[in-house]
Amino acid sequence: PVKPRICYPSKLPEAAESIMSQADISTCSAPQRVFQEAVKKGNTKELHSLLQNMTNCEFNVNSFGPEGQTALHQSVIDGNLELVKLLVKFGADIRLANREGWSALHIAAFGGHQDIVLYLITKA
40-51: pLDDT as tens digits? 888 888 888 888
| CATH 1.25.40.20 is right for the domain spanning 6-123 | yes
Residues 6+ apart with CB under 8 A from 95: 103, 124
- Is the Cβ–Cβ distance between 15 and 46 less than 8 Å? yes
Pair type for strands 54-58 and 6-9: antiparallel
What pLDDT score was predicted for residue 58?
A: 59
- Rounded to two decimals, the pTM is 0.71
- Distance of alpha carbon 88 from alpha carbon 41, whole angstroms: 18
Mean pLDDT of 11-25: 43
The confidence band for 16, taking pLDDT boundaries of 50, 70 and 90, is very low
Question: Residue 106 above 90 pLDDT?
Answer: yes
Longest dimension (CA), the chain: 40
